[in-house]
Amino acid sequence: MSVSAIKDVSMKQREIRTYLNNSLVQLIKPSDENIYKVYKVLNISRGGICFESNENDFELNEIIKLNLLLNKNSIHMASGRVCYCNMSSDKNLTQFGLSFLDNFIDADILRVNIC
């Protein structure tokens, strides 16, 4: 199912989210591991991130490799699953949720790198 076919899917919040304005994520699709794209991270929790994209090239349940950059430093590499998408108030942007599959973020790492 493509993202364009998904309406507004909401998930129950299980972790405390920290809102960011200085963080990016590099996403690498398994189909082409030589190419990555960079997206703005909106918020982060121990279990995943929310990022924003002007492209609808992610599918629900798609598995993606990621490299999380806080303050221009790589702090976390993991695999994630696209778990939701929501249209932003800016209709040209879509917000995607990505659940970490193999490496959860330690709260201390977040505290040190965000503060």
pTM for the whole structure: 0.77
- Residues 3-52 have pLDDT tens digits of 443 344 444 556 778 878 889 999 998 888 888 999 999 998 888 999 99
Tokens of 105: 């973020």
- The terminus-to-terminus CA distance of the chain in angstroms comes to 39
> 21-114 adopts what CATH topology?
Thrombin, subunit H (2.40.10)
Nearest one of 94, 37, 95 to 67, comparing CA atoms: 37
Domains in the chain: boundaries: 21-114
Give the burial class of 27: count Cβ atoms within 10 A of its Cβ; 0-12 exposed, 13-18 middle, 19 or more buried: buried
pLDDT in tens, 86-107: 988 877 899 999 999 987 776 6
Helix (H, G, I), strand (E, B) or coil at 97: strand
